Amino acid sequence: MTITSDESLIKASEGLRLQCYDDATGEPLEAGQYPKGRCTIGYGHATPDVYPGQTCTTAEADAWFQWDLPRARRRAAADLGGDAWGVLDEVRRAALTDMAFCMGGRGLAGFTHMLHAVVSGDWTAAYGECLMSRWGEREAPGRAKRDAEMLLTGAWPA
- Residue range 127-133: average pLDDT? 95
| Calpha distance 91→151 (Å, rounded) | 8
Residue 52 confidence (pLDDT)? 96
Q: Bridge-partner residues for 21, per DSSP? A: 28, 40
How many CA atoms, within 13 angstroms, populate the side-chain half-sphere of residue 58? Answer: 2
Q: Is the pLDDT of residue 105 over 90?
A: no
Quickly state the pLDDT bin for 158 (edges 50, 70, 90).
confident
Q: Radius of gyration (Cα) for the chain, nearest Å?
A: 16
| Calpha distance 48→38 (Å, rounded) | 9
CA dihedral sign of residues 7, 26, 102, 33: positive
User: Domain limits of the chain?
Assistant: 6-153
Q: What is the DSSP letter of 127?
A: H
**C-alpha separations of 14 from 31, 33, 51, 52, 101 in Å:** 22, 22, 18, 18, 10
Q: Is the pLDDT of residue 1 over 90?
A: no
What's this model's pTM, rounded to 2 decimal places?
Answer: 0.94
How much is the mean pLDDT over the chain? 95
What share of the chain in percent tops pLDDT 90? 91
pLDDT tens per residue, range 55-75? 999 999 999 999 999 999 999
In terms of Cα–Cα distance, which of 31, 69, 24 is closest to 50? 31
Q: What is the DSSP letter of 122?
A: -
Residue 6 confidence (pLDDT)? 97
The domain 6-153 having CATH identifier 3.40.50.300: the answer here is no
- Residue range 141-152: average pLDDT? 97
Residue 82 confidence (pLDDT)? 77
**How far does Cα 138 stand from its chain's mean position?**
15
End-to-end CA distance of the chain: 10
- Residue range 115-135: average pLDDT? 96
Quickly state the pLDDT bin for 2 (edges 50, 70, 90).
confident
**How far does Cα 69 stand from its chain's mean position?**
9
